[in-house]
Amino acid sequence: MYVAVKGGEKAIDNAHALMRTQRRGDSAIAELSVDQIRQQLPLAVDRVMNEGSVYDPELAALALKQASGDAVEAIFLLRAYRTTLPRFGYSEPLDTEQMQIERRISGTFKDLPGGQILGSTYDYTHRLLDFSLLAAGEAEMAPEEANALSEALAAGNSCPRVLELLNKEGLIEQSRESGLDDQVPRDLTREPVNYPAERAVRLQNLIRGDEGFLLSLSYASMRGYGDSHPFSGEMRTGRVSVELVPEELGFPIEVGEVLLTESEMVNQFHGSKDLPPQFTRGYGIAFGRAERKAMSVALVERALRAEELGEEVLYPTQDQEFVLSHTDCVSANGFVSHLKLPHYVDFQSELEMIRRLRNEQSQATQSKTTNEEADA
C-alpha cells in the first residue's frame, strides 16, 4: 500500500548532524578557535560585521566558524542574532575628523595637511603565493622591528578631511543644505523602505549591502553605465569614539570605539543656469578595514543621486529601486535558495494545465483531419 512520505523531522536532525561533522573536518587536525579567526582572518570578520550590521568581531568570528567560512551564511547568523537585541538608543553622529588615523590616502592632492599615511595594505604587494606560509607559517619578527611596526600602526593624529578644504573654497557642494539642522535618519531595520528613499536610507542600505554586488555596480558605473568619473578625494581608516546620550544623564558619554574606513569621492562638477559649477560628493563608510566596500558604496551612492541632482537616469546603477531592492545578500540568498523548497502543488497545477492544453490541441487537430477526410 502507498504510504505518503513521512519522516521530515528525522531527516532534518540527520542532515544537521552530518553538517556538523563536515564542518569539523578531519579530527586529526586541530580545531580552529574563534580567537584564531578573529585574529588571523580579520578581513573576513570585517565583512561579516558590515553586512551583518553588528560591530562585534568576536560574534562575527563565531558566525564564520559556525558557517564553515561561508561569508553569506555567517552574515545571516549575525543578522538573525542582531534582530533580537534590545535597542538602547542611537549614538550621536560619529565625528570622523577626530578619527585616530592609521591609514589615509588621497587621490586628489599629493600633499595635504596631516599628510598621506600608507599604513597597512595589500596594495603594491606582488601577488605571488608565499610558499613559506604553506611550509612553516609566518616567520617570527625581530622584537625591535615588531615594536617599530606596532608603533607605526598605533593611531596617528586626527586631521581635517580633504573635502572640507574644497568646501572652504565653495568648490564642492555642501554635504547638507546650509541652515538645515541634522536630520534624524530613519532606521532601515525598523521601518520599511519607501521609494523614493532619502539619502540617509540609501546609505544605510548600501552599507549593509553585498560587497560583491556593490563592487560590480560601481565598476559598471565607472565603465559608462552610470556616468561616474570620480576622484578618490580621501580614504581614511582608524578608530573613532562612539558617544551616546543616556536619557537619565542628558549629556554624551563615550561608550566605546569602532574601527572604520571612510571614503569620500569627488565627482564631476555640476551646475545649472543659476548655480555655478561645483564638484559633487559620493560617500561611503564601513566597519573595520574595508576599503573596497567603502569605495564601492561611495561610487554607487553617487550614481543613485542622479535624480536628486537633476541628471538623466539612464542606467540601472542610477535606479534606486533596482539597486536598493537587490543589495541585501541575506534576502538574495534566501530567495534564490527557496527554490529548493517543495513546489509540488504549483507544479501539479501547471502539469494539469499543460496536459489539458495539449489534449485540446491534439483533439482539435484530430477533428480537423477527420473533417477534411469527410470532405474528401
Question: Measuring CA to CA, which residue among 20, 77, 73, 31 is closest to residue 54?
Answer: 77
Nearer residue to another protein within complex by CB, 145 or 274? 274
The distance of closest approach from Cβ of residue 265 to another protein in the complex, given in angstroms and rounded to an integer, is 20
Task: Copy the grid coordinates of residue 336.
Answer: 534564490
The distance of closest approach from Cβ of residue 32 to another protein in the complex, given in angstroms and rounded to an integer, is 24
- The single residue among 26, 248, 344, 372 that binds another protein, judged by CB under 8 A, is 344
- In DSSP notation, 28-83 reads TSPPPPHHHHHHH-HHHHHHHHHHHT---HHHHHHHHHHTTT-HHHHHHHHHHHHT
- The single residue among 22, 28, 29, 84 that binds another protein, judged by CB under 8 A, is 84
Bridge-based pairing state of the strands 253-270 and 278-287: antiparallel
Decide if 328 contacts 211 (C-beta within 8 A).
no
CA–centroid distance for 88 within its chain: 24
User: How far, in Å, CA of 120 to CA of 307, rounded?
Assistant: 38
Range in contact with another protein (rule: CB under 8 A) among 8-16, 101-109, 141-149, 165-173: 8-16
- Decide: is 7 part of the binding site for another protein (CB under 8 A): yes
- Interaction with another protein in 87-126: which residues (CB under 8 A)? none
Nearer residue to another protein within complex by CB, 182 or 312? 312
Cα dihedral 225/226/227/233 (nearest 10) = -120
- The single residue among 22, 27, 83, 178 that binds another protein, judged by CB under 8 A, is 83
- The single residue among 36, 39, 40, 337 that binds another protein, judged by CB under 8 A, is 337
- Decide: is 8 part of the binding site for another protein (CB under 8 A): yes
- The single residue among 312, 372, 373, 375 that binds another protein, judged by CB under 8 A, is 312
Question: Measuring CA to CA, which residue among 165, 317, 299, 300 is closest to residue 232?
Answer: 299
What distance, in Å, lies between the first and last C-alpha atoms of the chain? 53
- Decide: is 276 part of the binding site for another protein (CB under 8 A): no
The distance of closest approach from Cβ of residue 331 to another protein in the complex, given in angstroms and rounded to an integer, is 5
Nearer residue to another protein within complex by CB, 146 or 269? 269
Decide if 73 contacts 47 (C-beta within 8 A).
no
Decide if 91 contacts 155 (C-beta within 8 A).
no
Range in contact with another protein (rule: CB under 8 A) among 18-26, 116-124, 133-141, 192-200: 192-200
The distance of closest approach from Cβ of residue 351 to another protein in the complex, given in angstroms and rounded to an integer, is 7
- Decide: is 134 part of the binding site for another protein (CB under 8 A): no
- Interaction with another protein in 39-78: which residues (CB under 8 A)? 76
- The single residue among 28, 154, 338, 373 that binds another protein, judged by CB under 8 A, is 338
Helix 71-82 and helix 57-66, axial crossing angle in degrees, nearest 10: 130
- Decide: is 271 part of the binding site for another protein (CB under 8 A): yes
Decide if 208 contacts 53 (C-beta within 8 A).
yes
The distance of closest approach from Cβ of residue 179 to another protein in the complex, given in angstroms and rounded to an integer, is 22
- Decide: is 147 part of the binding site for another protein (CB under 8 A): no
- Decide: is 325 part of the binding site for another protein (CB under 8 A): yes
- Decide: is 6 part of the binding site for another protein (CB under 8 A): yes
Helix 291-303 and helix 199-207, axial crossing angle in degrees, nearest 10: 150
Nearer residue to another protein within complex by CB, 86 or 137? 86
Q: Tell me the C-alpha to C-alpha distance, in Å, between residue 148 and each of 124, 155, 178.
A: 21, 13, 45
Q: Tell me the C-alpha to C-alpha distance, in Å, between residue 136 and each of 86, 103, 186.
A: 46, 30, 51
- Decide: is 86 part of the binding site for another protein (CB under 8 A): yes
Residue 136 has what DSSP assignment? T
- Positions that interact with another protein (CB under 8 A): 1-2, 4-9, 11-12, 76, 79-80, 82-84, 86, 189-196, 270-273, 310-312, 321, 325, 330-331, 333-335, 337-338, 341-346, 348-353, 356-357, 360
